[in-house]
Homo-oligomer: A and B are copies of this chain.
């Protein structure tokens, strides 16, 4: 296997002291912060025997662990194998795709446990974590993996760790505004994960615009085997997406419903992706880029509404539309964004996460606004939207309005945050590769 030599590298990509320093410093910080703040939630603590009686539970199976652990493991696979392998399509960047994804996700989940913990699981000075926190940490990191897709192959591992630190922080703030202040529903994260993550990443890559990227154009494509590896990522994302969208829904019918809606949406999305992939190509052949990516848009786009009474046919319609939008995006929009707006989006996250995420937010707002006691049942209606306490009098149409506001907030946070972080990453101290060495494992891997 021939590996190109890098004579005359303009940039210093030597990682020997910088990368270890950042990794070790941050991990030590995690240990200190975990030591001060993080403890087990009651359901994971050895005092559970006594808690059970207080909580009036008759059986160990009532532990949240059994409601959510199988979904957690599926989500875990999506983050590490799903995203990691999906990004392996580049012919010479397999190590970077899976390895850097591994690195940033492993760091990100720790920082997310803290950030989300302070906002949502903070009691008497301690963050109490259980299986739901693990899922939420994975979710948060998912939005970083999405942003990584835009800058894949063009950044150093240190830049990725810096971005992860900032993005997780902003994610947690945005999530807090949406879920707690606006009282918005977003179990599958169309807004908090996909819209936020994608526009964040697109803004970062815009700021880091590389005018000479065509110097590594030959490496920006795929080869036969790299496409097959990428399909592993695609399929695990596709198959486990029902778990993703249902993982943190309310116990019982909501989890059940979210899985069904997602299953339906994804199935429809495959058909329209295939149709448009063939239709938009002169020779009528299918393009692996579309199959690898656009087939997933249906999962993104029911992220907000999957746990609502979207109904199976509603899900099919959403999937139908998103397969088209996403495939058309790959064919027409990505080249336009690159040539006109200088947005170099390696994986096309604009088509897979940004647009479907926006659609998902809108579908969620509409579905919420259209909710009635008749469709949900009296108790189901209150449970579905958590219309209790101060929210007791909120109407469905008001909820729809707040949902829409959530989209706007996520967009603004993403773009402002992305601009800030992009500026930080532009500093010439992080060891990013020269333009001619992008998309090349040789730079950072032995």
Contacts and interface: CB of A to CB of B under 8 A. Distances in A.
A426 interface: no
A368 interface: no
A107 interface: yes
A271 B265 CA distance: 37
Given A14-B283, A275-B24, A252 B380 contact: no
Contact of A110 (B43, B50, B268, B375): B268
Interface string A224-253: 110111011001101110110000000111
Contacts of A231: 84, 98-99
Contacts of A166: none
Contact of A61 (B50, B61, B99): B61
Interface string A56-79: 001111111111011101101100
A66 to B, nearest CB: 7
Nearest to A43: B256
B50 A380 contact: yes
A286 interface: yes
A312 B129 contact: yes
Interface residues of A, number: 132
Given A15-B278, A15-B286, A73-B243, 15 more contacts: A20-B276, A23-B275, A27-B268, A47-B377, A60-B67, A63-B252, A65-B255, A66-B66, A66-B67, A70-B73, A94-B228, A134-B259, A157-B274, A232-B232, A286-B444
Contacts of A1: 223-224
Chain B CB within 10 A, most for which of A251, A268, A312: A312
27 contacts: A1-B223, A14-B284, A16-B282, A19-B275, A20-B276, A24-B275, A27-B316, A30-B268, A39-B311, A40-B257, A40-B309, A44-B257, A44-B260, A45-B253, A46-B376, A47-B253, A49-B253, A61-B62, A84-B235, A95-B227, A107-B271, A129-B312, A131-B259, A134-B259, A232-B232, A285-B445, A285-B446
Contacts of A107: 267, 270-271
B102 A46 contact: no
A48 B94 contact: no
Contact of A267 (B88, B109, B288): B109
B73 A67 contact: no
A335 interface: no
B271 A24 contact: yes
Contact of A31 (B69, B309, B313): B313
A109 B262 CA distance: 13
A446 B49 contact: no
Contacts of A271: 23-24, 26-27, 103, 106-107
Contact of A275 (B20, B49, B272): B20
Given A73-B240, A236-B81, A281-B16, A274 B23 contact: yes
Contact of A446 (B14, B27, B236, B283): B283
A263 interface: yes
B253 A44 contact: yes
A70 B255 CA distance: 13
A50 B377 CA distance: 8
